[in-house]
A and B are shown apart, each in its own frame.
Chain A
Amino acid sequence: MSLLKSREAILALAMLLLLAVIASRFPGFVAPRNLAGVFTDTSPLILLALGQMVVILTKCIDLSVAANLALCGMIAALMDGMGVPLPLILLAVLALGAALGAANGALVWLLGIPSIVVTLGTMTIYRGTIFLLTGGAWINAHQMSASFKAFPRAVFLGLPVMAWIAIAVVAVMAVVMTRTPLGRAFYAVGGNPHAAVYTGISVGRTQFAAFVIAGALAGLTGYLWVARYAVAYVDIAGGFELDVVAACVIGGIAIAGGAGTVAGCVMGALFLGIIKNALPVVGISPFWQMAISGSAILIAIAFNARKRDPGRIILKQAEHRT
Chain B
Amino acid sequence: EEMRIALVVKALGIGFFEAANKGAQEAAEELGDVEIIYTGPTDTTAEGQIEVINSLIAQRVDAIAISANDTDALVPTLKKAMDRGITVISWDSGVAPEGRQMQLNPSSSPLIGNMIIKLAADHLPDGGDVAVLSATTTSTNQNVWIEEMNKVAGDYPNVNVVATVYGDDLADKSYREAQGLMQTYPDLKAIIAPTSVGIVAAAQAVTDAGKIGEVNVTGLGLPSEMAGHVESGASESFAIWNPIDLGYSATMIAYHLAKGDATAEPGATIPIGRMGEVTLDENSEAAMADPFVYDASNVEEFSSIF
Q: Chain A interface (Cβ within 8 Å of chain B)? A: 26, 28-29, 34, 37, 41, 131, 134-138, 140-142, 153, 225, 229-231, 233-238, 276-277, 280-281, 283, 286-287
Q: Which A residues are CB-close (under 8 A) to B7?
A: none
Q: Is the CB of A141 within 8 A of B15?
A: no
Chain B residues 66-121 with CB under 8 Å of chain A are none
Are B303 and A280 within 8 A (Cβ)? no
| B176 and A276 form a contact (CB under 8 A) | yes
Determine the main DSSP class of B at the interface with A: helix
Do A34 and B18 contact each other (CB < 8 Å), given the known contacts A140-B200, A225-B172, A287-B137? no
B171 near A236 (CB under 8 angstroms)?
yes
Hey, which chain B residues are within 8 Å of A142, CB to CB?
Answer: 224-228, 303
A202 to B176, CA, bound (A): 43
The answer to whether B139 has its CB under 8 Å from any CB of chain A is no
Residues of B within 8 A of A233 (CB): 13, 171
Task: Choose among A41, A135, A141, A286 the residue that contacts B229 (Cβ–Cβ < 8 A).
Answer: A141
If A142-B225, A229-B171, A235-B43 touch, whether A283 touches B184 (CB-CB below 8 Å) is yes
B183 close to chain A: CB less than 8 A: yes
A209 to B100, CA, bound (A): 55
B7 to chain A: closest CB distance in Å?
Answer: 14
B contact set with A: CB distance below 8 Å: 11-15, 18, 42-43, 137, 165-166, 170-172, 175-177, 179-181, 183-184, 186, 197, 200-201, 203-204, 208, 224-229, 303
Chain A nearest CB from B191 CB (Å) reads 13
Q: Give min CB distance, B119 to chain A, whole Å.
A: 20
In this complex, what residue of A is CB-closest to B197?
Answer: A231
Top 4 closest pairs, chain A to chain B, by CB: A136-B13, A280-B180, A142-B228, A136-B12
| Contact between A231 and B200, CB atoms less than 8 A apart | yes
Can you give 29 A-B contacts (C-beta < 8 A)?
A28-B183, A29-B183, A37-B179, A131-B12, A134-B13, A135-B12, A136-B13, A137-B15, A138-B13, A138-B15, A140-B15, A140-B225, A141-B200, A142-B228, A229-B171, A229-B204, A230-B204, A231-B197, A231-B200, A233-B171, A234-B13, A234-B42, A235-B42, A235-B170, A238-B170, A277-B176, A280-B180, A280-B181, A281-B184
Which residues from A are CB-within-8-Å of B229?
Answer: 141
Flag if A229 contacts B172 (CB, 8 Å): yes
B43: chain A residues at CB < 8 Å are 235, 238
* Interface contacts beyond A131-B42, A281-B183: sample of 9 additional A-B pairs, CB < 8 Å, sorted by A: A34-B183, A142-B226, A153-B208, A233-B13, A236-B171, A277-B180, A280-B181, A283-B184, A286-B137
Contact indicator B225/A141 (Cβ below 8 Å): yes
Name which residue of chain A comes closest to B225, CB basis.
Answer: A140
For the complex, give the distance between the alpha carbons of A26 and B186 in Å.
Answer: 12
| Cα–Cα, bound, A29→B176 (Å) | 14
A236: B residues at CB distance < 8 A = 170-172
- With A and B bound together, what is the CA distance between A48 and B225 in angstroms? 29
- Interface pair A137/B13, CB less than 8 Å apart: yes
| B42, A136: Cβ atoms closer than 8 Å | yes
Evaluate contact between B172 and A237: CB separation under 8 angstroms: yes
The answer to whether B184 and A280 touch across the interface, beta carbons within 8 angstroms, is: yes
Known contacts A230-B204, A236-B171, A281-B184; A138/B176 CB under 8 A: no
